[in-house]
Structure 1
């Protein structure tokens, strides 16, 4: 059983200026979601951060809301919280795979996201994982987002453009400046 195994937990991320986090939660299973939010909030506050919470209907909408906020709002990072419990159809596989894949793609685009969408076989598994006094997966997702924010600040934050740094007055290639034709 995974709950009885020992694992390493990184020291809490530290910041020289406060962080602002958006918690995006699907309250489909309200009691489970509330526990996960409590764990996430405690972790964010322990780092001196602030947060906002937005609710969406289901796990598939979580990445969409994060993507929208990443483009239109001013957050340092995001925490995705929800719960998908296996049912009798393949809908479970679709929701688990697609929500996870979309969050991963947003992360690869530069957003700092902690993925706390539980994918479980039954309600008791979800309850243990959501409980802030037990596995605290909400707190773990917030910690993951905070560590990614710390890395992005360490490495200088996001840049505009795709795969290159736009030329500036100081930028020279083989003796040419941006005002000198090279071809």
Structure 2
């Protein structure tokens, strides 16, 4: 989107209880990453949520880090930040497509993720999108994650323990077997 175009931004929502957000950033372009982090942190705090921050080597590692955090911690949502600038090889397409696909697949599994990985042609485009006083894509990614959290809470979604749940009979059998002495 050109910087001179108008676009709609949803009003800030409300959460029924505080949320804990993990910001996962690939700081390959440090100046861009720092601006995006600043925007994301400000938006998260404006919602009354808390955040942690981790850095990964590159945009391809962002979805993996989010997947690990989802399995091993207790975050309500995630903000993916980074910047991929077109170079001379097809590596740009691979990084853009695969990082986006990984984030999308995690989202389709029920994770609340705001994707703020910039995919741009040059540093000027990255700067325009990262600046907090400009397009503030870091803040926008945080807002997206928080809106998804609010929506999932509205619908009563339980993200943990989704999938196979043993029946009460199976739990009683397993408990009885555990209490039965062996020879």
TM-score greater than 0.5 by the shorter chain: yes
Equivalent in the alignment of 2:18: 18
Cα deviation, 1:31-64, whole Å, max 9, x if unaligned, reads 0000000000000000011000000000000000
Q: Tell me the TM-score normalized by structure 2.
A: 0.87
Query: Distance in 2 between the 1:74 and 1:161 partners?
Result: 15
Provide the rounded CA distance (Å) in 2 between the counterparts of 1:166 and 1:148.
29
- Following the alignment from structure 1 to structure 2, what is the Cα–Cα distance between the partners of residues 67 and 114? 14
User: Normalized per residue, which structure has more helix?
Assistant: 2
Instruction: Name the CA distance, whole Å, in 1 between partners of 2:4 and 2:151.
Output: 30
Residue 142, structure 1, aligned to residue 142, structure 2: yes
Shift of residue 5 of structure 1?
1.5
1:27 aligns with 2:36: no
Aligned-pair distance for 1:142? 0.2
Q: Is the 8 A contact 1:67 1:106 kept in 2?
A: yes
Structural mapping, 1:127-166, within 5 Å: 127-158=127-158, 160-162=161-163
Aligned residues: 168
Q: Cα RMSD over matched residues? A: 1.6
TM-score normalised over the length of structure 1: 0.87
Tell me the CA shift for residue 2 of structure 1.
Answer: 2.1
Give a deviation string over 1:15-46, Cα, whole Å, max 9, x none: 12111000000110000000000000000000
- Alpha-carbon deviation of 1:3? 1.6
Unmatched runs of 5 consecutive residues or more in structure 2: 170-183
Measure the CA separation in 2 of the matches of 1:128 and 1:84.
14
> Runs ≥4 in structure 1, deviation > 4 angstroms?
164-169
| Alignment of 1:120 onto 2:116 | no
Contact 1:110 1:158 in 2 (8 A): no
Residue 89 of structure 1 is matched in structure 2 by 89
Gaps of 5+ in 1: 170-183
